[in-house]
Structure 1
Amino acid sequence: MKDGQATRRRLLDAAAAEFAAYGIAGARVDRIAATAKANKAQLYAYFGDKDRLFDTVFQEHAGDLVNAVPMTARDLPGYAVGIYDACLAKPDLVRLATWARLERRPAGDLVTTMAEETGQKLSAIADAQRDGHIDPALAPADVLAMVSMMALTWSPASLFYAATPADPETDHQRRREALAEMVRRGFCPADPHGVATVSGTATPPRPTIP
């Protein structure tokens, strides 16, 4: 890798860590440059300003965010658990996305450059609905949104409890099992007796809420 390319790469990596920790407003270009063993003049030459640097970083990681877990529409519980584990492995992706939502796109789609990938997920959900694996009464986009947010319950964006790899494995396993069960109950078709089924297996009847 040429010196210029190596410097640009170091700046992007340092900026990703800085933005994940502090957001756009709190990030400091002098810290980014120092971490990258570069100078602010080089940062500005490559990226223009801090806002455009954030956009470049987020764009680079958008694919990692959208494709962190392969879509398995016929196994939504497994897909949700995969997102839980991805949040443990790459918490900075969630933090970057949270800052992007707060400081860049407060409404509408968060990632606007991955329409093809999102469309493939929605098509997979629609196919699974036709095959009886997912409740067909729900819009595929709503299924994807709700399953994803359920999987983020313990992520760095959590308003309740943010899990880390340092948590006891028994806690992680309890959360994985609870998440899988709730996704199974919430999105799998129910037979006339109220028993949710997934690929021939059954879960307890859904509770009746007064």
Structure 2
Amino acid sequence: MATRDPEAKRQQLLDAALTEFAAHGISGARMDQVAKRAGCSAGLAYTYFKGKDELFDAVFEQIVRTIVSTVPIDADDLPGYAARLYDSHQANPEVARLVTWYRLERGEAALATPLAVKSTDAKVDAVRAAQAAGTVSDRFTAEELVALIQHIAALPSGDRTRDTVAAAVRRLVEP
């Protein structure tokens, strides 16, 4: 007799939803396809999530948590941080596609979920402290530097892109 594992099923739904949303966006994704990918019925999917929007939000929050835990900011080595963030983007291209869909369908301001705001605030505070210590340039505000680093780290892959990302951020932040 099989035992039920609600958390495992919820995670299967989140994993399936990441694939579905990355491919089709919020509008184009279908809950029945998410359920099929997760190996369950659409009814069971609705037991866990009220609908596509709630499921999409849960996937986005999971992405933020994963990136924060696997690629923590290091204000003493922002070029290295940018290179690791670039590596994360390259290893998980579906995440970049999902974030792009989020921006297209919900707008840039919608990315400001409570967890995303908290994460960004922590990064800004770390950069601001490094600026105050004189180890990071203050040519740009801490908020601008964090945004610039994140955007540079999202460059598409190429022969020397990782090195270019690190070099660009090094030049950007050097005092």
Alignment TM-score > 0.5, same fold: yes
Q: Give the partner amino acid of 2:21.
A: F
State the Cα deviation string for residues 54-93 of structure 1 (Å, max 9, x = none): 1222222221244441111122111111111111112222
1:11–1:176 distance in 2 versus 1, CA, 3 Å: closer
Bigger CA radius of gyration: 1
State the Cα deviation string for residues 130-186 of structure 1 (Å, max 9, x = none): 2222112321010100011011111xxxxxxxx3xxx7xxx1xx2222222221222
Q: What is the number of residues matched between the two proteins?
A: 172
Contact 1:62 1:111 in 2 (8 A): no
Q: Give the partner amino acid of 1:7.
A: K
1:19–1:76 distance in 2 versus 1, CA, 3 Å: same
1:2–1:184 distance in 2 versus 1, CA, 3 Å: same
TM-score under structure 2 length normalisation: 0.87
Asked if residue 112 in structure 1 is aligned to residue 123 in structure 2, the reply is no
TM-score under structure 1 length normalisation: 0.73
| Corresponding residue for residue 134 of structure 1 | 136
Give the share of equivalent positions with the same residue, in percent: 41
Cα distance in 2 for partners of 1:59, 1:187 equals 29
1:101–1:67 distance in 2 versus 1, CA, 3 Å: farther
Deviation, 1:3, is 4.1
| Corresponding residue for residue 42 of structure 1 | 44
Q: Which has the higher contact order (CA 8 A, sep 6+)?
A: 2
Contact 2:103 2:110 in 1 (8 A): no
Cα distance in 2 for partners of 1:93, 1:68 equals 14
Greater helix percent: which structure?
2
Q: Give the RMSD, CA atoms, in angstroms.
A: 2.0
Q: Give the partner amino acid of 2:172.
A: G
